[in-house]
A and B are shown apart, each in its own frame.
Chain A
Amino acid sequence: MSVASADVVAAPAKRSPSAFLPWLADNGVFVFTAVLIVFAGLFVDGFASLDNMTTVLNRVTPIGIVAVGMTFVVISANYLDLSVVAQVATSGVIFIGVSNRTSIFVAILLAIVVALIYGLVNGIAVGVFKANAVIVTLSTTFIGLGVLRWLSGGSVYFSERPIIETIGTAKILSVPVAMILLFLIALLMSFVLNRTTFGFTIKSFGSNPDATRLAGVRTSRVVIGAFTVSALGAMVAGFVLAARSQTAVSAMSDGYDFQALAAIIVGGTSVFGGKGSVLRTLLGVIFISVLTNIMVLSNWGFGLQQMAIGALIVAAVSVDALARRASTS
């Protein structure tokens, strides 16, 4: 299964110290995740219980889907997509609210339309008008959440469709369906990123936008595509999140934007773009979820947790930046 294709030109296998940093940047996430899980299993009380593992896996799934989609945006060197917060909540509310009134099919259709709109608006603003993605997605988040809260009045929606509960709690061989969905999506995204022209143009645009444009690629389409992928990912995550608890509310996706970004970065995808993989993002999600779980089990307050995440992000990016320096010096 070649999901784990390395998207980076392999550094020559010399044993000098300057090869360590690039190695760390590329492979650190694998090592650290494994070490973290082992450490937690041995030393953290309550980690290795079935209940806890289920909690962690449940957390991983929606964030993982969002992060996998947003990876496309990050690889295209467009920083991130902050509007996932608004999109996940909107999709969840549509899924539950609209399906209560009409049918699930209509709800999903509407959610797809909304996702395409987000992808288009973000993509055009960033791709055609060359605006800064952080500000653009920040403003679309405000518009999106404002519209959602205004239309929904902030109310909580409870599903009246029993099939949603069935989907939400179903398990195949005691693995939640949602997790299987995550894997399938990750496989699909990885395929798109590594084996299709579209994926290739995203990576090439991320590492060298001018060369890509000169090669005849319509760069605006690339950017719109990246944001659309991110939007579709957020949409599915919204479905998953809503189905699990059969409820939806506008605040349900709080913090998803930064958590997804943190996962992507920790996973080794560079903010500078051009380099990265879906598998890494998945590992990054697992790492952060396990880490958060450990902190919660160890009774770390919100403040300490935030400090840890902040330090982690800076450390991960520093390793990447220093590795770049080491490999080019």
Chain B
Amino acid sequence: MSTTTTGIDFRTEQSSSLSAKLGRFLSQRSEARGLILLALVAIVTVIFEPGVFSAWPATLSRIALIGLVALGLTVVILMGELDLSVASTYAMCGVVMASFDNLWLGIAVALVVGIIVGVINAFFVVGVGLNSFIATLGMLFFLRGLGFVLSDEEPVRIANADAAIQFGRSFGKITDTNIPVIGQLNAKMVIFLLTFIAIQIYVTRVRSGRELYAVGGNRQAARDAGIPVTRRIFSGFMICGFVAAGAGVINVLERTAADPTAGGDVLLQSFAAAIIGGIALTGGRGSVLGTLIGAAALGMMQVALTRSGVEPDVQNIIIGGVLLLAVTTDPDTLRSVWGSVRSRRLAATTGGRQTAT
């Protein structure tokens, strides 16, 4: 036990009061931040815009599409990498799908293309040794351009819109997102929830999924522990590309036309959802559940803001502010910042030697 001139060493004296427990929960669980925001948004919404709750299918629908991309992103970020190309994968795969006469074939090809994008990204990161930020940034441009080229710079109508609607009917009308499939949930939300469950199980129960945390936390140690890091990185990017492509496909099915400029907000919002949910961009920390919470908080906030007539520009300010706040309030860094501030103050006041905590 150390002694300092400022009193209690809060590491060794752990009170079990509610506030202390809450403090520990907040600093240890990565989802804590997202939960706080969700609670705040929920409270404010209940007071000012209760309509958001009564119209909850619409809110959930809003959450679903962005949340889907965010889920895939979560997998990549957990590994300690970034994937900026998701926005372009989203748009381009939509274009690919719409270019086929046969709807099923189009969807299948689009999803495969998404996987291929993941493979290419992983190749640059692992094979060439590029920083994933730059590699996926380059792909963001390249794929966006490709989407434009494939679509001749115009939105592409689904060749067979009727088939799309038929397909939708057989599954409960995917193309019309207001019509429910299971209970009150429409197909988009069902797919989102299924994807969430799948990825959550993979990352928490399946061995190769759990190893992603190790890959992100300390890559060299993971390698030394025998984890096939290269293979994991490939699978991570492939999952992300697949999910982004899927989201793009759903988007096109909804609108019955593929727009190569789609995905403008996707990048910001999916990163925001993941970060609010507690993901550490350095990797190895965070949870898929957190991303779900983050997407929920973000979606609810957006719907509430829109319903209360807040202008899009002000909405952007708020989302930007929330994101900034979220990304600077990582419990670990806050602790170390606070620690260095404390030690500097100590050195100033005691002047002489102090025992380190």
In the complex where A302-B145, A314-B142, A321-B129 touch, is A135 in contact with B320 (Cβ < 8 A)? Answer: no
Question: Counting chain A CB atoms within 10 Å of each CB, which of B124, B148, B327, B329 scores highest?
Answer: B327
Q: Which 6 A-B pairs have the closest CB atoms?
A: A303-B148, A310-B142, A306-B145, A142-B320, A310-B141, A307-B145
What are 29 inter-chain pairs, A to B, with CB distance below 8 A?
A: A125-B327, A130-B337, A135-B281, A136-B327, A138-B271, A138-B320, A139-B320, A139-B324, A143-B316, A143-B317, A146-B313, A146-B320, A261-B137, A301-B148, A302-B145, A303-B148, A303-B150, A306-B141, A307-B142, A307-B145, A307-B149, A310-B138, A310-B139, A313-B134, A313-B137, A314-B138, A317-B135, A321-B128, A325-B129
In the complex where A150-B313, A310-B141, A317-B135 touch, is A138 in contact with B153 (Cβ < 8 A)? Answer: no
**In the bound complex, do residue A303 and residue B328 qualify as a contact, i.e. CB atoms below 8 Å apart?**
no
**In the bound complex, do residue B130 and residue A314 qualify as a contact, i.e. CB atoms below 8 Å apart?**
yes
Contacts of B308 in A (CB 8 A): none
**In the bound complex, do residue A134 and residue B337 qualify as a contact, i.e. CB atoms below 8 Å apart?**
no
Interface string of B101-118 (1 = CB under 8 A from A): 000000000000000000
Distance, CA A309 to CA B260, complexed state (A): 17
**In the bound complex, do residue B320 and residue A143 qualify as a contact, i.e. CB atoms below 8 Å apart?**
yes
Contact among B134, B314, B324 for A140, CB-based, below 8 A: B324
In the complex where A143-B320, A317-B131 touch, is A310 in contact with B327 (Cβ < 8 A)? Answer: no
Of residues 236 through 288 on chain A, the ones whose CB sits less than 8 Å from some CB of chain B are: 258, 261, 265, 271-272
- Assess whether B48 is interfacial by the CB under 8 Å rule: no
- Assess whether A204 is interfacial by the CB under 8 Å rule: no
**In the bound complex, do residue B135 and residue A146 qualify as a contact, i.e. CB atoms below 8 Å apart?**
no
Interface string of A310-329 (1 = CB under 8 A from B): 11111001100110110000
Of residues 259 through 318 on chain B, the ones whose CB sits less than 8 Å from some CB of chain A are: 260, 268, 271, 275, 281, 311, 313-317
Contacts of B143 in A (CB 8 A): 310
**In the bound complex, do residue B138 and residue A313 qualify as a contact, i.e. CB atoms below 8 Å apart?**
yes
Name B267's closest neighbour in chain A (CB-CB).
Answer: A138
Contacts of A125 in B (CB 8 A): 324, 327-328
- Assess whether B147 is interfacial by the CB under 8 Å rule: yes
Q: Shortest CB–CB separation between residue B345 and chain A, in angstroms?
A: 15
In the complex where A131-B328, A318-B128 touch, is A145 in contact with B316 (Cβ < 8 A)? Answer: yes
Q: Shortest CB–CB separation between residue B125 and chain A, in angstroms?
A: 10
**In the bound complex, do residue A146 and residue B142 qualify as a contact, i.e. CB atoms below 8 Å apart?**
no
Question: Counting chain B CB atoms within 10 Å of each CB, which of A261, A308, A317, A321 scores highest?
Answer: A317
Distance, CA A186 to CA B124, complexed state (A): 33
**In the bound complex, do residue A318 and residue B141 qualify as a contact, i.e. CB atoms below 8 Å apart?**
no
- Assess whether B140 is interfacial by the CB under 8 Å rule: yes
Contacts of B333 in A (CB 8 A): 129-131
Distance, CA A136 to CA B324, complexed state (A): 6
Q: Shortest CB–CB separation between residue B136 and chain A, in angstroms?
A: 10
**In the bound complex, do residue A150 and residue B138 qualify as a contact, i.e. CB atoms below 8 Å apart?**
no
- Assess whether B323 is interfacial by the CB under 8 Å rule: yes
- Assess whether B228 is interfacial by the CB under 8 Å rule: no
Name A130's closest neighbour in chain B (CB-CB).
Answer: B333
- Assess whether A87 is interfacial by the CB under 8 Å rule: no
**In the bound complex, do residue A146 and residue B139 qualify as a contact, i.e. CB atoms below 8 Å apart?**
no
- Assess whether B62 is interfacial by the CB under 8 Å rule: no
- Assess whether A79 is interfacial by the CB under 8 Å rule: yes
**In the bound complex, do residue B153 and residue A317 qualify as a contact, i.e. CB atoms below 8 Å apart?**
no
**In the bound complex, do residue B129 and residue A139 qualify as a contact, i.e. CB atoms below 8 Å apart?**
no
- Assess whether A128 is interfacial by the CB under 8 Å rule: yes
**In the bound complex, do residue B137 and residue A139 qualify as a contact, i.e. CB atoms below 8 Å apart?**
no
Question: Counting chain B CB atoms within 10 Å of each CB, which of A138, A139, A140, A301 scores highest?
Answer: A139
Contacts of B148 in A (CB 8 A): 301-303, 306
Distance, CA A304 to CA B141, complexed state (A): 10
Q: Main secondary structure on chain A at its contact with chain B?
A: helix
Of residues 96 through 132 on chain A, the ones whose CB sits less than 8 Å from some CB of chain B are: 125, 128-132
Name A314's closest neighbour in chain B (CB-CB).
Answer: B138
Distance, CA A79 to CA B330, complexed state (A): 19
Q: How many residues of chain B are within 8 Å of chain A by beta carbon? A: 47
Distance, CA A134 to CA B316, complexed state (A): 17
Residues of B within 8 A of A (CB): 82, 124, 128-131, 133-135, 137-150, 153, 260, 268, 271, 275, 281, 311, 313-317, 319-321, 323-324, 327-330, 333-334, 337
Contacts of A317 in B (CB 8 A): 130-131, 134-135, 138
Contacts of B141 in A (CB 8 A): 258, 306-307, 309-310, 313
**In the bound complex, do residue B147 and residue A146 qualify as a contact, i.e. CB atoms below 8 Å apart?**
no
Contacts of A38 in B (CB 8 A): none
**In the bound complex, do residue A272 and residue B321 qualify as a contact, i.e. CB atoms below 8 Å apart?**
no
In the complex where A303-B146, A310-B140 touch, is A265 in contact with B134 (Cβ < 8 A)? Answer: yes
- Assess whether A147 is interfacial by the CB under 8 Å rule: yes
Distance, CA A314 to CA B134, complexed state (A): 7
Q: Shortest CB–CB separation between residue A237 and chain B, in angstroms?
A: 21
- Assess whether A305 is interfacial by the CB under 8 Å rule: yes
**In the bound complex, do residue B314 and residue A318 qualify as a contact, i.e. CB atoms below 8 Å apart?**
no
Q: Given A304-B145, A310-B141, output 6 extra A-B contacts at Cβ < 8 Å.
A: A129-B329, A140-B324, A303-B145, A303-B260, A307-B142, A312-B138
Contacts of A138 in B (CB 8 A): 268, 271, 320, 323
Contacts of A135 in B (CB 8 A): 271, 275, 281, 323, 327
- Assess whether A159 is interfacial by the CB under 8 Å rule: no
**In the bound complex, do residue A150 and residue B311 qualify as a contact, i.e. CB atoms below 8 Å apart?**
yes
Contacts of B142 in A (CB 8 A): 306-307, 310-311, 314
Question: Counting chain B CB atoms within 10 Å of each CB, which of A261, A265, A302 scores highest?
Answer: A302
Contacts of A141 in B (CB 8 A): 320
Q: Shortest CB–CB separation between residue B138 and chain A, in angstroms?
A: 4
- Assess whether A149 is interfacial by the CB under 8 Å rule: yes
**In the bound complex, do residue B149 and residue A304 qualify as a contact, i.e. CB atoms below 8 Å apart?**
yes
Q: Shortest CB–CB separation between residue B39 and chain A, in angstroms?
A: 22
Q: Shortest CB–CB separation between residue B327 and chain A, in angstroms?
A: 5
Q: Shortest CB–CB separation between residue B25 and chain A, in angstroms?
A: 21
Distance, CA A155 to CA B128, complexed state (A): 46
Distance, CA A157 to CA B306, complexed state (A): 29
**In the bound complex, do residue A142 and residue B149 qualify as a contact, i.e. CB atoms below 8 Å apart?**
no
Distance, CA A325 to CA B316, complexed state (A): 42
Name A138's closest neighbour in chain B (CB-CB).
Answer: B268
Contacts of B329 in A (CB 8 A): 129
In the complex where A146-B316, A303-B153 touch, is A139 in contact with B327 (Cβ < 8 A)? Answer: yes
